[in-house]
Structure formats: C-alpha cells, structure tokens
C-alpha cells in the first residue's frame, strides 16, 4: 500500500517542480563582474560626457531590468546622470540612443552626514519600467547631466575585461580605453 502512495507523491512533486520552473522569469546578468574598491577609472564631470561598456545581450531579445555599478564620488555634491543604450558597430557605438524616455538617477556624496564618510557606493538603476528590449552587442552608458569644474568620478573596474568607452563631452567622438573596463552589469530577462 505504501508504494502506490509514494509513487503518486513523487509524481505530484515532479509536476510541481516542472510547472514552477515554467512560471519563473528567466534572468541572467550581462556585463562585467561587480567589484568594490578596485582600481578606478576617473572621469571629469562634464554635462553630456558619457562612460560605458560594451555588453553582449545574446542573439535573442532580452529586456533590461537593472543597471548596477560601484563608484567613488569624491566631490561634495550629488551628481545627476541618465542611462543610455546604443547598438554597437564594428568598433564604436553607432546610431541614436535606444532609450526613448530619460532614465535619470544620481550619485550622492554620502547618505547621511552624521554617518562615517564612505566614498565607494553601489548604484542600482531600475530599468524595468522602461521596457528596453535589445539583442546582440550594445553599449550601456551613464551620461552626466551637469558640469562640476574640477570634480571627477571614479568607477570600480577590472583589467582585461573589454575596456571602457567614453565621450569627454557631447561634441567629441567615442574613445575606448582598451585594457581597463568599468564594472557595469545589467540584469536582463530573456523574452519568449
């Protein structure tokens, strides 16, 4: 008598596991490994300047859910920025920004003036409300929304991980720092 009940229980359990797997969203992280406090690339805060990395989203479309990176804000001001996404050409980004609505956020100097000063902070930007669908190689960047003379921002980065792309201001061409890549990564959801 125990054998039929045991077999029925196992069958129900296997069906439950299979169905719960179908119900879950399939997500993955693209971009560079997130590191805190590693060697930094520093960039001047100039309105329209951009810093980003190339990421491979794969051959099938994915939706961008969340951008994450570590940064050192050594100034005393909050730095506003927006997120941009571009298709990659042979060597540099090409075409217009794929983001149709501005995705704004900011990097604060410190959360609470009474707490000990820590300059390195994790920045996370929720991209899910914007329904950004991409495939293939893309460049995801942050663009500074104001100019702060003499101020710079340091992004955590790693060696030999694809390089960092930057524009010094809106009128210059994209350039690539080949050896050191900023540790940007994006959580994406595979689309059916």
Could you tell me whether strands 120-126 and 164-167 are parallel, antiparallel, or unpaired per DSSP bridges?
unpaired
Two structure tokens written together for 62 = 């994915």
Is the pLDDT at 19 greater than 60? The verdict is no
CA distance 155 to 139: 16
Q: What is the DSSP string of 3-38?
A: HHHHHHHHHHHHHHHHHHHHHS--EEEEESPP-SS-
The class level of CATH for 25-190 reads mainly beta
Distance CA 125, CA 185 (A): 11
Per residue in 137-159, pLDDT (tens digit) is 999 999 999 999 888 888 888 88
pLDDT at 13: 65
Residue 48, by phi and psi: left (phi above 0), alpha (psi -120 to 50) or beta? left
Q: What is the mean pLDDT of the chain?
A: 85
Closest CA to 72 of 104, 116, 109: 109
Model confidence, pTM: 0.81
Lowest mean pLDDT: which of 36-45, 108-117, 118-127?
Answer: 108-117
pLDDT band at residue 21 under the 50/70/90 scheme: low
Could you tell me the two tokens for 25?
């969203």
Q: Residue 40: what pLDDT?
A: 65
**How much is the pLDDT for 77?**
85
Domains in the chain: boundaries: 25-190
Please give the full DSSP string across 66-86, using - where no structure is assigned.
EEEEEEEE-SSS-EEEEEEEE
Which tens digits make up the pLDDT trace of 48-66? 999 999 999 999 999 999 9
Pair of tokens at residue 144: 């500074």
CA-to-CA distance for 140 and 103, rounded, in angstroms?
12
């Amino acid at each position: 008598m125990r054998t039929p009940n045991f077999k029925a229980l196992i069958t129900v359990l296997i069906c439950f596991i299979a169905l719960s797997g179908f119900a879950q969203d399939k997500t993955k992280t693209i971009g560079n490994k997130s590191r805190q406090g590693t060697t930094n690339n520093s960039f001047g805060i100039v309105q329209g300047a951009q810093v980003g990395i190339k990421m491979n989203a794969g051959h099938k479309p994915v939706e961008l859910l969340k951008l994450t990176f570590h940064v050192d804000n050594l100034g005393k001001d909050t730095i506003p920025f927006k997120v941009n996404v571009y298709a990659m050409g042979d060597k540099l980004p090409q075409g217009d920004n794929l983001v149709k609505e501005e995705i704004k956020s900011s990097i604060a100097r410190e959360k609470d003036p009474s707490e000990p000063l820590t300059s390195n902070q994790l920045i996370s930007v929720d991209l899910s409300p914007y329904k950004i669908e991409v495939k293939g190689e893309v460049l995801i960047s942050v663009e500074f929304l104001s100019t702060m003379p003499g101020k710079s921002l340091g992004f955590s980065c790693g060696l030999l991980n694809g390089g960092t792309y930057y524009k010094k201001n809106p009128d210059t061409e994209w350039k690539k720092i080949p050896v050191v890549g900023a540790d940007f990564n994006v959580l994406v959801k595979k689309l059916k």
